[in-house]
Amino acid sequence: MAEWNAFYHNEDEDEEQEEGEQTSGDYKVTGRDSLVFLVDASKEMFIKGEDGELSNFDMTMQVVRSVYTTKIISSYRDLIALVFYGTEQSKNPRNSFKHVYVYHDLDEPGATRVRDLDALLGDKGEKLAAETMGSGETSLGDALWCCANLYSDIKYRLSHKRLMIFTCRDDPHGGNSTKDRQAHTKARDLKETGVMIDLMHLMKPGGFDVSLYFRDIVSPAEDESELGLQLKPCDKLDDLRKRVLAKEQKKRSLARIKLILDEGINMAVGLYATAVTARKPGAVKLYRETNEQVRSKTRTFQTQTGSLLLPSEIKKAQVYGKKKIVMERDEVDAIKKFDDPGLYLIGFKPMEKLKLHHHIRPAIFLYPEDDQVKGSACLFSALLKKCSEKNVFAVCRCTPRRNIPPRFVALVPQKEEVDDGKVQTKPPGFNVIFLPYADDIRNLDIPHCPIASPIQVNKMKEIVSKLRFKYRSDAFENPVIQQHYRNLEALALDMVAPEETDDLIMPKVEQMDIRLGPLIDEFKNMVYPFNYNPDVKPAAKRKTADDGGGSEKKPKVEVSEEELKNHMKNGTIGKLTVPLLKDACKQFGIRVAGSKKQELIDALVAHLGS
């Protein structure tokens, strides 16, 4: 029975495992992510900017709401809390701390919480916050102590704990050394328990001096990929949202393996997926009487006797040459295993040797894991620097996990890039490009098409130059997924109608026509026949009554030598029909071996051009 229970498990058990559970070789991450927003509720946070700009409090609430809705879509099992400090009213577990208001304790985000945040937005929200919480004395140490209690009350296993402080005051205690010392002590205690503390400081008159107080409160950067503490405060909503998302975004590796340069020279690296196809979540089956989720179980039975089969009684087979090759489970596992997980360096190649058609699947990102093997970051940085200087890529044999066939990969170096707000847009590391095997390459018979004339090519170049624009993949959202979640959000939040979704991938025809002007018509006249319309199907040939169904003959049309030369000069000789070209060849006594249109055109060009 123990063997049965181990094999015939519930299929839903895999889905019920904690969000983020990933296995890669011997490395495993389990648990949920947690995030606590610690927001300053002092009077300074409610001061509006010049020209009616958003107050720091309103800007913070909009960003917090954005994270809530994003978590509901991407990681609904993660835990989020919202805590205000510097309030007049107090609300926290056991009311142990004054001037600390726990608006949301650590729990999964939901529609009710989003509605609570909507009530805090805008002028009405600021008024509600003033009535509900008010502004009073500040004790950041008590606020951090309260957040520590929120974490200690959680019974779930937490894989990542982060706390974000939103404030526009660089000296919250006004020089009170006792409160400063208490806050530093509590921050140190939180960091020792694995909580990452980040500062999202906001603009205030006279500037925000981080070194005055908060430099020792926040946590250092987890690794070189993080920018750590930002010295410039946020004064715009987009800047604040970018910083929060950059810190909040998960950075879990698909696998942690060794990059082996030579015998005895290796480093630990992590593989990260930078782009994953977004899909709508699958439907959940419910029992219609109680709306409880239905669990499914799988059993394997013998077809003739109907008896339940044990795992040891099941074998696998594959047909080869009309013969069924039967294998045991251990034999199948042995066949699948080629090598231990790892990256084995083979050599280096110039960047021009890497072609676009070599990318047979989405690339992944390679970054050092110094906590696994000390010195990995230093060796990795040296390799990255030299590959960038010499403009080469490394060719490796890659086995990301056990029982996965090895692949040839190209490690393409990538330098670090930051935007104007000092937020990292590209981390330093290697892009892992999966290269094709000889079996993956197809030899295609490319059809021979008419070659465009230089005049046609130049005209198309003008069209292309007019339609150029700066493309950023993060500027285009999937309209199907966005509409799906807008509808769900409207149902969950009891909205009258869902928000309209802009389909950003639809071409802007009117703007394109304004940019191109007459270029399109000029190109059509060069390439297509007269009065060509791609939307109109060619009319069927009609039978005449006079000749009993025979088609009526059209009068013969001749083309003069001068007209042919003009067509050659304008690049429109291809618009002439094959019968006209044949008659022209007969007219000038040109013998053509074949009867294809391009052969006739080449013969006329050779004759009239000489």
84-131 pLDDT, tens digit each:
999 999 998 878 899 999 999 999 888 889 889 999 998 899 999 988
Reply yes or no on whether the pLDDT at 469 is more than 60: yes
Most confident of 78-82, 246-250, 571-575: 78-82
What distance in Å separates the CA atoms of residue 462 and residue 127, rounded to the nearest whole number?
A: 57
Integer CA distances (angstroms), 329 to 24, 238, 297, 340, in order:
22, 55, 22, 20
Residue 534: count of CB within 10 angstroms of its CB? 7
What is the pLDDT at residue 7?
A: 36
What is the pLDDT at residue 443?
A: 82
> Band of the pLDDT at 229, cuts 50, 70, 90?
low
The highest-level CATH class for domain 561-609 is: mainly alpha
> Looking at residues 551-569, what average pLDDT do you find?
68
Integer CA distances (angstroms), 381 to 68, 429, 439, 499, 579, in order:
36, 8, 35, 47, 68
Reply yes or no on whether the pLDDT at 339 is more than 60: yes
What is the pLDDT at residue 291?
A: 86
> Band of the pLDDT at 541, cuts 50, 70, 90?
low
Fold of 253-276+336-440: Ku70; Chain: A; Domain 2 (2.40.290)
Fold of 32-248: Rossmann fold (3.40.50)
> Which of 28, 251, 285, 336 does the annotation list as catalytic?
28
What is the pLDDT at residue 17?
A: 38
What distance in Å separates the CA atoms of residue 581 and residue 558, rounded to the nearest whole number?
A: 9
What distance in Å separates the CA atoms of residue 202 and residue 55, rounded to the nearest whole number?
A: 10
What is the pLDDT at residue 350?
A: 95
What is the pLDDT at residue 6?
A: 37
Reply yes or no on whether the pLDDT at 225 is more than 50: no
What distance in Å separates the CA atoms of residue 432 and residue 407, rounded to the nearest whole number?
A: 11
DSSP secondary structure letters along 108-128: ---HHHHHHHHTTSHHHHHHH
Reply yes or no on whether the pLDDT at 554 is more than 80: no
Tens digits of residue pLDDT in 310-332: 888 888 888 888 888 888 878 88
Reply yes or no on whether the pLDDT at 377 is more than 70: yes
> Domain map of the chain by residue range?
32-248, 253-276+336-440, 449-469+514-536, 561-609
> Looking at residues 215-228, what average pLDDT do you find?
62
> Looking at residues 70-88, what average pLDDT do you find?
87
Q: Which two tokens stand for residue 78?
A: 């993660």
What is the pLDDT at residue 394?
A: 95
Reply yes or no on whether the pLDDT at 539 is more than 80: no
Q: Is 179 a catalytic residue?
A: no
pTM score of the predicted model: 0.61
> Looking at residues 357-378, what average pLDDT do you find?
88
What is the pLDDT at residue 1?
A: 36
Reply yes or no on whether the pLDDT at 581 is more than 50: yes
> Looking at residues 412-438, what average pLDDT do you find?
86
